[in-house]
Amino acid sequence: MTPVLPVADIMSSITSVLDAISSFWANLAAVNWVALLFGLTVFVIYQSFRSRAAFNILRAAYPDEEIGFRYIWGAYMAGYGFNSVMPARSGDIVRLFLTKTSVPNSTYSAVAAAMMSELIFDGVMAVFILTFAFSQGVFPKPPDFSSLASFDLAFFAQHPDFTVFMITFSAVAVLVILAMLSARIQSFWARVRQGLTMLRDRRRYLREVFLLQFIGWCFRFTAFWMFLEAFHVGGSVHNVLLMLGINAVGALVPITPQGAGIQQALILQVFGGVATASVVAAYSVGQQIAIASTMFAIAFACIFFLFGFRSFKDIIAAGKAERAAEKQAAGARAG
């Protein structure tokens, strides 16, 4: 039987979010704005280091092309900004298109592979951070996710068989698509390998990607310390690592923008014994609002001033037009 999202769980999740928003507005006057603004500034610096690592990956894949860092930075910021306000990581599509148009003679498959190679660092750090988080006694174990006031995470936790089925179905679907494209699969994998060029030079990868991402991670650590201080939850190594663990779990189920519902539910439980319920609730929503509004403002500025688009729809329309032109050109060459 196909599981159905329980209405009660959805309403409970919505109620929890609304209560947290109410607490945020009630505690707005108590926010340490200096710490908040400093945290947001440092957070943008963190994203800039990430974008520089992405630029180095693309430069390795396309050594003969002239690539402007500001455009790769703008594409990265635009993607993250749209992910902050749109569900299902829709911003990744924006970033993919903007990056592809910023790298002469590039292909979507190579650029997508380059983007995927950035996740190695995230996977390594997630192992250490989640190991710490689950060992502290305040972080819920995976079986307990089903009781959280977050309908998306609770749904998948309550239906493990369906979750495994969806993962398996997705993997099979990818294999079927690859089989259908078997006539072009050789050139496809060649472009993917091009996007992963950086990984074949370990020293260069460690120096130009992993190291930059680690420096960026240090800025991210500082940013969340400031956010915890700004909302009076309390900045500490322990609390920041727990918060980063919450972010890691939220990234696993990106149904809501930046896993907002999951993060909010986990913050309420993990930090429930650190500060009062109203303070924790205000932090759970206030931090997400601050990051999302800041990054979306930067994203809109990038697509308007750097790339000349006026809206998300314009980007999608341009992407479709480019894909249609590429197919037409490929058909003409085949003919």
Chain centroid to Cα 174, Å, comes to 22
Which pLDDT value is given to residue 174?
A: 58
One-letter amino acid at 70 equals: R
The structure tokens listed for 43 are: 């957070």
Q: What is the pLDDT along the chain (335 residues), one digit of tens a residue?
A: 445 445 444 445 445 555 555 555 556 668 999 999 999 999 999 999 999 999 999 999 999 999 999 999 999 999 999 999 887 788 998 999 999 999 999 998 899 999 999 999 999 999 999 999 999 988 877 766 655 555 455 544 454 555 555 566 666 665 555 555 444 667 778 888 999 999 999 999 999 999 999 999 999 999 999 999 999 999 999 999 999 999 998 887 766 776 667 788 888 889 988 888 888 888 888 898 999 999 999 999 999 999 998 877 788 788 778 777 766 765 665 55
CA 112, 173, 167, 1 dihedral sign is positive
Measured distance CA(291)–CA(84) in Å, rounded: 8
The structure tokens listed for 52 are: 């520089």
pLDDT digits (tens, 9 = 90+) for 160-218: 555 555 566 666 665 555 555 444 667 778 888 999 999 999 999 999 999 999 999 99
CB atoms within 10 A of CB 105: 8
Contact 213, 131 (CB under 8 A): no
pLDDT digits (tens, 9 = 90+) for 279-288: 888 888 889 8
The structure tokens listed for 50 are: 């990430």
CB atoms within 10 A of CB 88: 12
Nearest residue to 115 (alpha-carbon basis) of 37, 195, 47, 186: 195
The structure tokens listed for 79 are: 């993607």
Give the single-character DSSP code of 206. Answer: I
